[in-house]
Amino acid sequence: MTTYELGEVVAERKLEAVAADGSRTPVTVRFGKPYPDPLSTHGDWCCPHQILGLGEEGAGGSFGVDSLQALLLSVFKVRLKLGERARAGSVRLDWLGQDDLGLEADPEPRGVTAPRSRS
């Protein structure tokens, strides 16, 4: 199993795991600064991430062709891991009441249409 170092934290999100009895436990998600993958022969990048307070706490990583893709894939992977761990722990996760925990980027807010450009 590959071990990742989180390194410099560039983004963090604090969530809560809510049990069936209503008790709440803090969960923290951290993303490290993307860095060039030293093993890549094609210039790929790695973005480390870590989930604290909900199961295994070691750092993981996601890879992309550049730093942005690595970061986006890391956020996606964390969303999947959070869902798996919440199901395994029989808890639901909460962040400001958002179903997606604020970890999805949608260019158009729900219920709002983009303005039409004038030609």
Domain boundaries, position 73? 9-94
In a domain, 116, yes or no: no
- Give yes or no for residue 112 having a pLDDT over 60: no
Indicate whether 83 belongs to any domain.
Answer: yes
C-beta separation of 12 from 37 below 8 A:
no
Choice among 4-13, 24-33, 104-113 with the minimum mean pLDDT: 104-113
The whole-model pTM stands at 0.83
Give the mean pLDDT of 4-19.
Answer: 95
Domain contains 38: yes
| 96 backbone φψ class: left, alpha, beta (φ>0; ψ -120 to 50) | left
**Is residue 2 included in any domain, yes or no?**
no
- Please report whether residue 45 resides in a domain: yes
Q: Which of 73-77's residues contact partners 24+ apart within 8 Å by CB, and which partners?
A: 73/47, 74/31, 74/34, 74/47, 74/48, 74/49, 75/31, 75/49, 75/103, 77/49
Give residue 53's region: left, alpha or beta (phi > 0; psi -120 to 50): left
The total number of structural domains in the chain stands at: 1
Is residue 32 domain-resident?
yes
How far apart, in Å, are the Cα atoms of 60 and each of 77, 81, 107, 108, 119? 9, 10, 27, 30, 48
Does a structural domain hold residue 103?
no
Query: What are the tokens at 13?
Result: 């999100």
Report yes or no on 108 lying in a domain.
no
